[in-house]
Amino acid sequence: MRRILTTVITLGLVLSSGAAVAYAASDTPRRGTTTYEPITWGTCESTGLAARNAQCGLLSVPLDYAKPGGEQIELAVSRIRHTTKDADYQGVMLVNPGGPGGSGLDLSVLGEYVPKDAGDAYDWIGFDPRGVGSSEPSLGCDGGYLGYGRPPYVPTGSKIEKAWLGKAEGYASDCAQIAGDLLDHMRTTDTVQDLDSLRAALGAEQINFYGFSYGTYLGQVYATRYPQRVRRMVLDGNVDPRRVWYDANLDQDVAFDRTMKVYFAWIAQYDKVYHLGRSAKAVEKLFYKEQSRLLGHPADGEFGPDELTDVFLQAGYYVFGWESVAYAFSAWVNDRDPDPLRSLFESANPTDDGADNGYAVYLAVQCTDAPWPTSWKKWHADNSRIHSQAPFLTWGNAWYNAPCLTWPAAPGKRIKVSGTNAPPILLLSETLDAATPFSGSLEVRRRFPKSALIEGVGGTTHAGSLFGNACVDNSIAEYLASGKLPQRAKGNTADKRCDPLPKPDPTKPSAKRAGVATLSRLDLQRRIAGY
């Protein structure tokens, strides 16, 4: 699916619960009789990582694993080492924030957010996947592609439709010229092999893995390919492996429309704060009215209906930004002040060189993981049908993915995900997660028979673990400390139910109502575009 904000495994026997990892925290990597070049660790450029005494380095991997001696690319890697005694060491924990296209280099800090010091026994490993961020080469095709000046999302006539198709085809063509052979080696299966190369370079026989959003699919495929190399795995916001990726985006269109109705109801609940309507229907009607108004008269000549949808989409992912979006919309509706809306849009859509790195990688992975329909007639029919019942996101999402129509790299085959031989893993999801609908978590639970699923009942937040929900986060801590999972229930259901992350209350004195809230770097990294 689309973006929201700029940027947030194992050889040998599976260990029993509570057992220490049966290998040393060594920098001399070996797998069988083959010695792998270790990562040369040094200081990190990131001030946040440097302040935590993290180590950073580069890992060389083959561009094409079918030609291991051929062209090499480099993955940027960070490490924050365990602080427990070596006897209590539980191994390496690789983290992926999603996207695809999300930078995970800073996410070696994630261990400090695990309650009860349960993360202290792990070496936390952040990394930028191939093509992403500080890895080389870093993919980018047109930094201004997602900025102002786009055609309206809803194609009310053939002129708009042709404009978008031409724009999308141009982006795909730009990527072909800039990226070359890299585009043929950007599938999830390539990154899975990178994960295993990273495992070997770290000297680990097994990895632990924490994946958010698209990172859950990365974990699913790794566990399918290398079940004996998985020790523990936390997957938060689970991709449905049956729906990769064309169908998954259609599922999201319906799910986001539902979630926005929840958000409109929340705004109405605080009409005395925002003055945008006293009922969900009234707020929703106002949103579409202003969207139509901006179509004819963009604010400041450039902030139009597309940009308004993009700003509100942020609230479809997380409760954390609900106040900021409502405040910005209120400033526009009641005072005709577009600045807060513009600020939210521009923070998520920078247009400098390389600003489209996450988007370019997103397409490079999603367009080639599995086949997409090559007929625009089918795209048009499917999106027209869904738009009629779920108008909030459908066409914007279609155009976001439209470069896949002419993407200059051949798609692979959809992976048949199976966790039959995988160890016990922990699955997390809130019931109304729109980016990765809850049905996906139920499907992953079915395919991983030793897994357990924790549900944030009624919540709309996507991949929101380790954000202070004690019911969820303490279960994560228990699993990471001992391997213990909630008892598996019978039937197609969650195994443990928690309250979701709480909706904000803008009437509290501590609420940030006077402006657009500032997010920490970790929040931004976690709030990834799309999956």
State mean pLDDT over 326-351: 96
Q: What pLDDT, on the 0 to 100 scale, is given for residue 520?
A: 39
Express each pLDDT in 410-469 by its tens digit: 999 999 999 999 999 999 999 999 999 999 999 999 999 999 999 999 999 999 999 999
Q: What is the mean pLDDT of residues 303-314?
A: 97
Please pick, among 108, 197, 462, 495, the residue that the annotation labels catalytic. 462
Largest CA distance in the chain: 70
Residue-wise pLDDT tens digits, 455-466: 999 999 999 999
pLDDT of residue 261: 98
Q: What is the mean pLDDT of the chain?
A: 91
pLDDT, position 27? 46
d(CA 92, CA 82) in angstroms, rounded, equals 9
Q: At a CB cut-off of 8 Å and minimum separation 6, what does 215 contact?
A: 95, 96, 97, 98, 102, 104, 235
User: Is 60 exceeded by the pLDDT of residue 42?
Assistant: yes
pTM confidence score: 0.92
213 is annotated as an active-site residue? yes
- At position 493, the amino acid (one-letter code) is T
Closest listed residue to residue 248, CA positions, set 498, 2, 29: 2
User: What pLDDT is attached to residue 351?
Assistant: 87
What are the tens digits of pLDDT across the range 460-493?
Answer: 999 999 999 999 999 999 999 999 999 999 999 9
pLDDT band at 530 (very low <50, low <70, confident <90, very high): very low
Contact in structure between 99 and 462 (CB atoms under 8 Å) = no
Give me the amino acid identity at 482.
S
pLDDT at 511: 57
Q: Which helix (H) or strand (E) holds 273?
A: helix 271-274
pLDDT digits (tens, 9 = 90+) for 9-28: 222 222 222 333 332 333 44
Find the mean pLDDT for residues 38-67: 96
Given this model, what pLDDT does residue 353 score?
83
Q: Is 343 a catalytic residue?
A: no
Instruction: Convert the pLDDT of each residue in 113-134 to its tens digit.
Output: 999 999 999 999 999 999 999 9
462 tagged catalytic: yes
Confidence at 36, pLDDT banded by 50, 70, 90? low
For the segment 191-208, the average pLDDT, to the nearest whole number, is 98
CA proximity to 150, closest of 358, 17, 294, 320: 294
Q: Exactly one of 78, 135, 213, 330 is catalytic; which is it? A: 213
Residue with the two structure tokens 């704060």: 273
- Rounded to the nearest 5 degrees, what angle is found at the Cα of 435, between the Cα atoms of 257 and 141? 110
Degrees (nearest 5) of the Cα angle 204, 206, 210? Answer: 110
User: Per residue in 347-378, is it b (16+ CB within 10 Å) or e — as a string?
Assistant: bbbeeeeebbbbbbbbbbbbbbbbebeeeeee
Residue 242 in tokens: 């049956």
Q: Within a 10 A sphere around the Cβ of 68, how many other Cβ atoms?
A: 11
Alpha carbons 183 and 172: distance in angstroms, whole number: 11
Integer Cα distance of 167 and 415 in angstroms = 31
SS (H, E, C) 309-361: HHHHHHHHHCCCCHHHHHHHHHHHHHHCCCHHHHHHHHHHCCCCCCCCHHHHH
Q: Which residue in 128, 433, 473, 495 is the catalytic one?
A: 433
Average pLDDT over residues 245-255: 98
Q: How far apart are the two ends of the chain, measured CA to CA in Å?
A: 6
Res. 4: pLDDT tops 60: no
pLDDT beyond 70 at 30: no
Q: Residue 516 has what pLDDT?
A: 47
Give the pLDDT of residue 35: 47
Token couple for 439: 């049905």
Share of the chain above pLDDT 70, in %: 89
pLDDT of residue 491: 96
Number of helices and strands (H, E) in the chain? 16, 11
Q: What is the pLDDT of residues 63-117, one digit of tens each?
A: 999 999 999 999 999 999 999 999 999 999 999 999 999 999 999 999 999 999 9
Q: How distant, in Å, are the alpha carbons of 132, 361, 513 from that of 62?
A: 16, 18, 50
510: confidence class by pLDDT, cuts 50, 70, 90: low
Of the pLDDT bands very low, low, confident and very high (cuts 50, 70, 90), residue 352 is confident
Distance CA 131, CA 359 (A): 11
